[in-house]
C-alpha cells in the first residue's frame, strides 16, 4: 500500500455495487420497520406510523450526508479528526444528564429527538486509527510504541461506552481496533500472542462480572430455563423464525410483533423478517451484507494510500461485525446483546451516521488505483 497522500487527482466514479446495495438495505429496513413496529406503535403511541416517521427523517438526513461525503475528498477528514475526538467525550458523558432507558444511559434526548453518542464514537475511533497508523508507518511493529498507544485510545472510548452499560458497542470498538492494528502491519506474535488473548479475557471479565450480563451469557444456552423472563425475547425470536418457514407468512403478517416480541423493530427485527419473508428473505439480507463487505474490502485493497485503505477497512469492519453479531444473537448462536442490524434496525442515530460512513467509503472508491484521472 502507498503511504502518505498522493497528488490531487480528478475523482472517478463511485463503486455502484456499494451504492445500490446500501439503497436496497435502507429500503428494506424502512419497509420492515413499518411492518414490525406498526402494531407496537399503535398500542403504545396510538399512531401506527410513529416509528416510521422518525426513521424517514433519519433516512433523509443520512441520504444528504451520504451524497455530501461522497463528494468531499476523504483526506479532509484528517483535519477534523482531533475535533471529533474531543467533542465525542463530553457527548458520551452528557447521556448521564438524561433519564435512563431500560436502566441504561445511552441517549441525549431533546424533545422528540434523541442522539446516541456511542454510534459516533465507533467511527471516531476508526478516523483516529486510520490517521495515527498511517503516520506511524512501520513503527507499528514495535509493541510498546506502535501497538499499545492506539490500543489505549480505543480502550478509552470503549471504556466510556462500557460505563453506559453498553458492552456490545464497547466490544465492537475493540474488535475494530484489533482489525486495524493487524491490517496496518502489527506483528502476529503481538496481535495474536498478546492483544487477542487480553481482549478476550477482558471481555469475559466484563461479561461475567455483573449479574445481568452473566445471566445473558448463560441463558442463551437454555432460554427455556427461564422462558417467562430472561429467555423470553430469544424464545419469541425462535418462534418467529420457525413460523416463517421457507417463504414466510407474508409482509405484514407477523404474529410475534403483536406485543409478543418486545420492541420488534429494534435489535430483533431480523426475526420478524424471517417470520414474514421466510428463509429466502433472510438469505437475501445476508447475501446483501456479504456483497457489501466484499466490495468494502475490495475498496480498501485498491485505495490510493494507506489512510484510505485503513479508513475503508474500519468502516467495512463495523458494518460486517455488527451484522454478524446481530444475526448470531437473533438465531441464538451467541448471548443476547444490543447491537442493531445496520440500515435495517430502527434507530435514527445509527442509520444517519452509518449512511454518512458509507458516503466516506464511496469517496474512497472514487479515488482507487486504476480509476481514471
- Tell me what pLDDT residue 22 has: 97
- Tell me what pLDDT residue 67 has: 97
**pLDDT tens, residue by residue, 107-122:** 898 877 788 999 999 9
In contact, 176 and 318? CB cutoff 8 Å? yes
∠ CA 277-29-350, nearest 5°, is 145
Residue 4, pLDDT > 80, answer no
Closest to 106 (Cα-Cα) out of 156, 165, 51:
165
Residue 9, pLDDT > 70, answer no
In contact, 126 and 180? CB cutoff 8 Å? yes
Which residue range is the domain that position 250 belongs to? 87-341
Task: Report the mean per-residue pLDDT for the chain.
Answer: 90
**90-94: which pairs have CB atoms within 8 A and are 24 or more residues apart?**
91/115, 91/117, 91/120, 92/117, 92/118, 92/121, 92/157, 92/160, 92/161, 92/164, 93/160
This prediction's pTM: 0.93
The share of the chain scoring above pLDDT 90, in percent, equals 70
- Tell me what pLDDT residue 344 has: 96
Q: Under DSSP, is residue 9 helix (H, G, I), strand (E, B) or coil?
A: coil
Q: Concatenated DSSP letters for 288-332?
A: HHHHHHHHHHHHHHH-SSHHHHHHHHHHHHHHHHHHHHHHHHHTT
Closest to 115 (Cα-Cα) out of 103, 101, 127:
101
In contact, 251 and 36? CB cutoff 8 Å? no
**pLDDT tens, residue by residue, 20-79:** 999 999 999 999 999 999 988 888 888 889 999 999 999 999 999 999 999 999 999 999
Q: Is residue 312 part of a domain?
A: yes
- φ, ψ (nearest 5 deg) of residue 127: -60, -45
Q: Is residue 17 part of a domain?
A: no
Average pLDDT over residues 331-348: 89
Closest to 91 (Cα-Cα) out of 57, 70, 114:
114
Q: Is residue 70 part of a domain?
A: no
In contact, 231 and 332? CB cutoff 8 Å? no
Q: Is residue 233 part of a domain?
A: yes
Residue 373, pLDDT > 60, answer no
Q: What are the Cα distances from residue 264, in Å, to 30, 168, 213?
A: 14, 19, 21
Average pLDDT over residues 226-230: 79
Outline where 163-210 has alpha helix (H).
167-183, 188-190, 196-209
- Tell me what pLDDT residue 8 has: 53
Q: Is residue 57 part of a domain?
A: no
Torsion angle of the four alpha carbons 18, 22, 23, 27, in this order, in degrees rounded to the nearest 10: 150
Distance of CA 74 to the CA centre of its chain: 20
Query: What confidence tier does 213 reach under pLDDT thresholds 50, 70, 90?
Result: confident
- Tell me what pLDDT residue 113 has: 79
Q: Between these two residues, 213 and 204, which has the higher pLDDT value?
A: 204
- Tell me what pLDDT residue 228 has: 77
Q: Is residue 10 part of a domain?
A: no
Residue 267, pLDDT > 50, answer yes
- Tell me what pLDDT residue 370 has: 55
Contacts of 210 (CB under 8 A, 6+ apart): none
CA distance 340 to 279: 20
Q: Is residue 71 part of a domain?
A: no
In contact, 311 and 6? CB cutoff 8 Å? no
Q: Is residue 7 part of a domain?
A: no
Contacts of 293 (CB under 8 A, 6+ apart): 316, 319, 320, 323
| Structure-block grid coordinates of residue 129 | 486509527
Question: What is the count of structural domains for the chain?
Answer: 1
- Tell me what pLDDT residue 6 has: 46
Residue 179, pLDDT > 50, answer yes
Amino acid at each position: 500500500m502507498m503511504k502518505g497522500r498522493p497528488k490531487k487527482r480528478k475523482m472517478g466514479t463511485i463503486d455502484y455495487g456499494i451504492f445500490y446495495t446500501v439503497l436496497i438495505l435502507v429500503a428494506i429496513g424502512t419497509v420492515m420497520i413499518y411492518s414490525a413496529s406498526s402494531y407496537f406503535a399503535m398500542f403504545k403511541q396510538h399512531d401506527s406510523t410513529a416509528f416510521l416517521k422518525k426513521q424517514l427523517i433519519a433516512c433523509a438526513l443520512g441520504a444528504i450526508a451520504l451524497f455530501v461525503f461522497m463528494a468531499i475528498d476523504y483526506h479532509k477528514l484528517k483535519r477534523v479528526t482531533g475535533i471529533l475526538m474531543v467533542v465525542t467525550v463530553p457527548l458520551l458523558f452528557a447521556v448521564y444528564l438524561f433519564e435512563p432507558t431500560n436502566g441504561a444511559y445511552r441517549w441525549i434526548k431533546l424533545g422528540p429527538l434523541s442522539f446516541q453518542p456511542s454510534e459516533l464514537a465507533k467511527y471516531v475511533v476508526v478516523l483516529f486509527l486510520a490517521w495515527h497508523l498511517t503516520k506511524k508507518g512501520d513503527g507499528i511493529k514495535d509493541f510498546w510504541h506502535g501497538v499499545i498507544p492506539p490500543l489505549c485510545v480505543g480502550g478509552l472510548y470503549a471504556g466510556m461506552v462500557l460505563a453506559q452499560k453498553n458492552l456490545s458497542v464497547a466490544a465492537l470498538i475493540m474488535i475494530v481496533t484489533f482489525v486495524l492494528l493487524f491490517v496496518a502491519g502489527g506483528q502476529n506474535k503481538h496481535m495474536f500472542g498478546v492483544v487477542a488473548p487480553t481482549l478476550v479475557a477482558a471481555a469475559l471479565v466484563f461479561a461475567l462480572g455483573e449479574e445481568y450480563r452473566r445471566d445473558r451469557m448463560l441463558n442463551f444456552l437454555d432460554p427455556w430455563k427461564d422462558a417467562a423472563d430472561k429467555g423470553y425475547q430469544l424464545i419469541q425470536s425462535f418462534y418467529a423464525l420457525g413460523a416463517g418457514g421457507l417463504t414466510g407468512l407474508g409482509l405484514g403478517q407477523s404474529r410475534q410483533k403483536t406485543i409478543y416480541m418486545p420492541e420488534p423493530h429494534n435489535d430483533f427485527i431480523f426475526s420478524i423478517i424471517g417470520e414474514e419473508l421466510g428463509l429466502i428473505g433472510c438469505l437475501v439480507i445476508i447475501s446483501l451484507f456479504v456483497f457489501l463487505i466484499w466490495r468494502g474490502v475490495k475498496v480498501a485493497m485498491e485505495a490510493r494510500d494507506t489512510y484510505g485503505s485503513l479508513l475503508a477497512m474500519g468502516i467495512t469492519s463495523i458494518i460486517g461485525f455488527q451484522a454478524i453479531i446481530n444475526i448470531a444473537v437473533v438465531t441464538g448462536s451467541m448471548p443476547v446483546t444490543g447491537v442493531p442490524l445496520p440500515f435495517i434496525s430502527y434507530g435514527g442515530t445509527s442509520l444517519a451516521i452509518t449512511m454518512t460512513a458509507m458516503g466516506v467509503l464511496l469517496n474512497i472508491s472514487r479515488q482507487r488505483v486504476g480509476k481514471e484521472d
